[in-house]
Structure 1
């Protein structure tokens, strides 16, 4: 899986203090439930992202638990409010123990 994951983050670079803004995040991931059978008749091992966390300078913004029914390439969209500039960190936790991460600078005026 390493090297196959692609993360896309869409958010404004600059926001007004106290104003709501939207963050969109997508990760490429197969989200295998462990129920699918491949062409050879073997069960494809379960491998899902079970948690998504976004923080602003280590302060939690959102923490989402995913279930196996989530489709491949999970997409999240949420609103946030910031009072100060900082670094938004995005972390997707895979059941295999991998953590896929990205970060974006946020400037608040």
Structure 2
């Protein structure tokens, strides 16, 4: 499991625009770089990122080999109701990880 850092508010007012920031610890190896032995290191990147708010997709991104190690993603959404934000990453070699956070929405 990769190390993740998610920064999002735990509470917001209904209709408020909130920012969610996420970093995941991942080497993002391009598949073009040679290792110490001179052989090309196999590609190992995160290919997709998505965020679902109470099951509804609110943000998604496709990542490519030009993205640096430990990718940082920031996006905004509108707080509509209390619930769960599920952030998911999928990549090469069967890599997949999901983290969830709770959001309390007040009137």
Which residue does the alignment assign to 1:56?
A: 53
2:11 to 10, 14, 18: 14
Number of residue pairs matched by the alignment = 106
Question: Unaligned 5+ residue runs, structure 1?
Answer: none
1:96 Cα offset (Å): 1.8
Distance 1:48 1:98 in 2: 9
Relative to the length of structure 2, the TM-score reads 0.95
Aligned to 1:26: 23
> Using the alignment, how far apart are the partners of 1:63 and 1:21 within structure 2?
16
Q: Deviations over 1:4-62 (max 9, x none)?
A: x1011001100010010110000000001100111111111001001000001110010
Alpha carbon RMSD of aligned pairs, Å?
0.8
Moved over 4 A (4+): none
The match for 1:68 among 65, 68, 79 is: 65
The answer for unaligned runs of 5 or more in structure 2 is: none
TM-score (norm 1): 0.94
